[in-house]
Chains A and B, each alone.
Chain A
Amino acid sequence: MSKVLENLRYADSHEWVLVEGDVATVGITDYAQHALGNIVYVDMPEAGDEVTAGEEFGAVESVKAASDLISPVSGEVLEVNEALEDAPELINEDAFANWIMKVKISDASEIENLLDAAAYAKVCEE
């Protein structure tokens, strides 16, 4: 059974968001890492890039498949998790502790479109 954390918001494309003020920390969910299997590469944006809600901002590659990362929010990328460049398997170890990027949120209303933990858990069951 995959883990879902209560304090996060979720996209149905299996990304999680932690909102702190106007900064959103984004990663992929435990369900996603489990479905992908051993992750071998994370293609991340660069600090300063603009990302758009609902659009691709990178990709994760596992031994099974390559999947696009879809940004749950719009805004400027403040920072990416450089540890993933050398150790992408950290996401398999703990998908919630090992975030992928931090974004300065440009449109806070987009957060309202995301799922809460209960709704996301339901998506995973389907």
Chain B
Amino acid sequence: MKYYDKLIFELSREGRKGYELPANEFTSNSIDAIPANLLRQEPADLPEVSELDVVRHYTNLSNKNFGVDTGFYPLGSCTMKYNPKINEEVAALPQFGGLHPMQTEETVQGALEVYYNLQRALSEIAGLGEFTLNPYAGAHGELTGLMVMRSYHEQRGDTKRRKVIVPNSAHGTNPASAMVAGLEVVEVKSKPNGSIDVEDLKPLLNDEIAGIMMTNPNTLGMFETEILEIAKLVHEAGGLLYYDGANLNPLLGKARPGDMGFDIMHINLHKTFSTPHGGGGPGSGPVGVRKGLEHLLPNPRVTKDAEGVFHVETGADSLGSISAFFGNFGVMLRAYAYILTLGKENLKMVGPMATLNANYIKENLKDDYLLPIDGVCKHEFVFDGLKDKSTGVTTLNVAKRLLDYGFHAPTIYFPLLFHESMMIEPTETESIETLDEFIEVMHKVAKEARETPDDVKNAPLTTLVRKLDETTAAKHPILNYRTLKAQQA
């Protein structure tokens, strides 16, 4: 494959075009109707290219990308499952794509029905009372959920509850969201298996605690077996439980956060419900609350009356608006299509299959890779680098070498509980043949680390872009085209 990094503007040649318009047969010129001060003085600087230029340009750029459609993508904590194409077909229907958010209720009943039904499906799956689908992505959902938590205490006049407990094994977004929501973060220690240390939690609970943020299974992929005890303690102290839905996939069909005692949660539709993500979006982070908190959810909301008619409502007790209109509607369409395509029975197989695949890889690789926490994991697990530490080959080296063999790297150096973390999440959509190929390559890399370590340390050797100088990239970043050209000149 050839290296290609041009901008479409570099292909531009004056006068070249990919279309021809017929001669203007109308006598009036509509441009005359536009006031002179609003007319452009110079032509827009647009690329002038042929259709073939455009097709080759974007095809070449897309070939540089690696996605779930290209190969196995075991990026832990990201749930890179396959996104069925029927989702795209549904989202592309012109009856949805052509809608305008300012249309009146009676003209968009179908879209409102999708929003309402998806909200009900998520409530059933999560074991909670009601959902808002408005937040744009996971961290935005966390912020919204924490605003619900804060509003709940404030509306009761309990204004000194400003602290949120976050485990030291949490996703980095948890403490960040708490800070953005104007709350103070208190860290609770985790035990060696990543579970919350209940003894460390007890002294932290008092009348200043707004709540706790947890993910279950935790970031080491282990189920929090003491969740019912934790929920009881936090509720007795007057706090609420927030569930970070990033790790919801293994629970599908098996367990519900609402049943565990969680009061508020977000779901990453783009992860668990199979919509394309990576590269920053688009995501969707619906927030669910238990019964009794729904009046706090953000505006606008979709309701259904006794006649089956859908309405857009704004509540007076709501925490306000957190998005433009209803959030990322295109993502909701895909997620709803996914849920309906699988149906109730097949959706229940998602969690068990994701768990089986993760354990299959873990058990087959723990001879060569250091497994700090033994036992059955859920949808993902963490190795602490290679077992043989004498080779000098790091987790970063292994990750880069995997690229040479056509696999995306796992998540590395997270969670921070270990120095050489390698977090692997295969998801339920991979076949046993793909899992076996990955296992074989991981064994091969471990063997290379022992026998020809330089091949691993210098990896990747076969990719279009070779090993990156991360230090220089961080210290002297080239952030735009102009800087790049100035440096190349």
Residue among A40, A61, A88 with the most chain B CB within 10 A? A40
Contact residues in A for B475 (Cβ distance below 8 Å): 40-41, 88
Beta-carbon contact of A89 and B474 below 8 Å: no
- B470 neighbours in A (Cβ, 8 Å): 38, 63
Q: Nearest Cβ in chain B — how far from A87, in angstroms?
A: 10
Question: Is B413 an interface residue, CB under 8 A from the partner?
Answer: yes
Q: Is the CB of B413 within 8 A of A40?
A: no
Is B419's CB within 8 Å of the partner chain A? yes
Among A40, A41, A65, contact of B416 (Cβ-Cβ < 8 Å)? A65
Do A64 and B413 have beta carbons less than 8 Å apart?
yes
Residues from 65 to 83 in A contacting B, C-beta threshold 8 Å? 65
Q: Give a binary string over A46-74; 1 marks a CB under 8 Å from any B CB, 0 the rest.
A: 00000000000000010111000000000
CB pair A65–B413 under 8 Å, yes or no, is yes
What is the bound-complex CA distance between A64 and B413, given in angstroms?
7
Residues from chain B with a CB closer than 8 A to the CB of A35 are: 419
Most interface-central of A35, A41, A64 (chain B CB within 10 A): A64
In chain B between 408 and 430, which residues have their CB closer than 8 angstroms to a CB of chain A? 413, 416, 419
Task: Give how many B residues have a beta carbon under 8 Å from the other chain's beta carbons.
Answer: 7
Across-interface contacts of A41 in B (CB, < 8 A): 474-475
Contact string against A for B residues 266-287, beta-carbon threshold 8 Å, 1 for contact and 0 otherwise:
0000000000000000000000
Question: CA of A38 to CA of B469 in the docked complex: distance in angstroms?
Answer: 10
| B397 shortest CB reach to chain A, Å | 12
Minimum distance in angstroms from A66 CB to a CB of chain B: 10
A32 to chain B, nearest CB (A): 11
**Docked complex Cα distance between A35 and B413 (Å):** 10
Q: Judge whether B41 is part of the interface by a CB distance below 8 angstroms.
A: no
Task: Give Cα A63–Cα B474 distance, bound, in whole angstroms.
Answer: 7
- Say whether B65 faces chain A, with CB atoms less than 8 Å apart: no
Query: A97-115, CB under 8 A of B: which get 1 and which 0?
Result: 0000000000000000000
A18 smallest CB distance to B (angstroms): 26
Chain B CB count within 10 A is highest, among A61, A63, A65, A89, for A63
Can you name the residue of chain A whose Cβ is closest to the Cβ of B414?
A65
Cβ–Cβ < 8 Å partners of A40 in chain B: 471, 474-475
Q: Which residues of B contact A63 (CB under 8 A)?
A: 470-471, 474
Distance A64 CA – B419 CA, assembled complex (angstroms): 10
Kindly identify, within residues 448 to 489 of chain B, every residue whose CB is under 8 Å from any CB belonging to chain A: 470-471, 474-475
In the complex, what distance in Å separates the CA atom of A43 from the CA atom of B237? 38
Bound CA–CA A37/B193 (angstroms): 25
Note all chain B residues with C-beta closer than 8 A to A64: 413
The CA of A41 and the CA of B416, in the complex, are separated in Å by: 19
**Interchain nearest-CB distance for A91 vs B (Å):** 12
Residues in A whose Cβ lies below 8 Å from that of B413: 64-65
Most buried by A among B416, B419, B475: B475
Within 8 A of B (CB), among A17-44: 35, 38, 40-41
Chain B nearest CB, measured from A14 CB (Å): 13
Distance, CA A88 to CA B474, complexed state (A): 12
- Contact of B416 with A61 in the complex, beta carbons under 8 Å: no
- Which chain B residue shows the least CB distance to A64? B413
Bound together, the chains give a CA A88 to CA B419 distance in angstroms of: 21
Report the minimum CB–CB distance from B412 to chain A (whole Å): 9
- CB interface residues, B 30-62, toward A, < 8 Å: none
A61 adjacent to B471 (CB under 8 Å): no
17 contacts between A and B (CB under 8 A): A35-B419, A38-B470, A38-B471, A40-B471, A40-B474, A40-B475, A41-B474, A41-B475, A61-B474, A63-B470, A63-B471, A63-B474, A64-B413, A65-B413, A65-B416, A88-B475, A89-B471
The 7 A-B residue pairs whose C-beta atoms are closest, nearest first, are A40-B474, A63-B470, A38-B471, A64-B413, A40-B475, A40-B471, A35-B419
Tell me the A residues contacting B by CB distance below 8 Å.
35, 38, 40-41, 61, 63-65, 88-89
Known: A40-B471, A40-B474, A64-B413. 13 other contacts (CB 8 A): A35-B419, A38-B471, A40-B475, A41-B474, A41-B475, A61-B474, A63-B470, A63-B471, A63-B474, A65-B413, A65-B416, A88-B475, A89-B471
